[in-house]
């Protein structure tokens, strides 16, 4: 419950959505939630990862809708790979630095939307040394589209998008004159 003397008691929802005081309160709450999540992540990472299945959906939605939350969440956003290990964005980048970069120098995040149905593709990719993360929640399709525009150094590729040898485009194209 938040009490504010600056907000009238009887107002419409549309009035509140445009009210600058409500926007300030929203920004403050968003900052506090992000700070608390980062604190939990830093102090009790194992517990944070255990709760990620129920927490991740809301974190991803917040990252899509609020750029300030996105900046803070980049520190504690985790992705679970097909083997069950969790990686932050920086940890994933470090782990895949040599194997999962395309010809443009962008880090390729291989993902699966259904680990059971795409198991054969996951096995082929992991046999090649690639890391495949799970993106199977309701918001993941929109999340991927949103963060691909905001994370300039990363692109997402579904593990069954092509044969394993072509998932990460490392070949230089010949320029035509």
Q: Which tokens in the block code for residue 68?
A: 């300030």
Burial classification of residue 40, based on how many CB atoms lie within 10 Å of its CB (0-12 exposed, 13-18 middle, 19 or more buried):
middle
**According to the model, what pLDDT value does residue 1 have?**
65
pLDDT value at position 48?
Answer: 92
> What is the Cα–Cα distance from 73 to 65, expressed in whole angstroms?
12
In 19-69 the beta strands, taken as DSSP E runs, fall at: none
CB-facing half-sphere around the CA of 161: CA atoms within 13 A: 15
**pLDDT, tens only, 20-36:** 888 888 888 899 999 99
pLDDT 10s digits, 43-84: 999 999 999 988 999 999 999 999 899 999 999 999 998 888
If we measure between CA atoms, which residue out of 125, 127, 123 comes closest to residue 109?
125
């Amino acid at each position: 419950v938040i009490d504010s003397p600056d907000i009238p008691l009887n107002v419409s929802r549309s009035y509140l959505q445009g009210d600058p005081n409500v926007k300030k309160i929203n920004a403050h709450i968003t900052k506090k939630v992000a700070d608390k999540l980062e604190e939990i992540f830093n102090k009790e990472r194992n517990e944070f990862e255990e709760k990620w299945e129920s927490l991740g959906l809301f974190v991803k939605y917040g990252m899509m809708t609020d750029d300030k939350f996105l900046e803070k969440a980049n520190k504690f956003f985790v992705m679970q790979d097909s083997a069950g290990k969790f990686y932050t964005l920086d940890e994933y980048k470090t782990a895949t630095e040599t194997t999962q970069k395309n010809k443009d120098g962008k880090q390729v995040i291989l993902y699966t939307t259904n680990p059971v149905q795409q198991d054969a593709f996951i096995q082929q990719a992991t046999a090649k040394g690639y890391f495949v993360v799970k993106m199977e929640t309701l918001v993941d399709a929109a999340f991927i589209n949103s963060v691909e525009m905001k994370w300039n150094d990363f692109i997402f590729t579904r593990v069954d998008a092509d044969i394993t040898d072509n998932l990460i485009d490392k070949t230089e194209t010949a320029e035509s004159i």
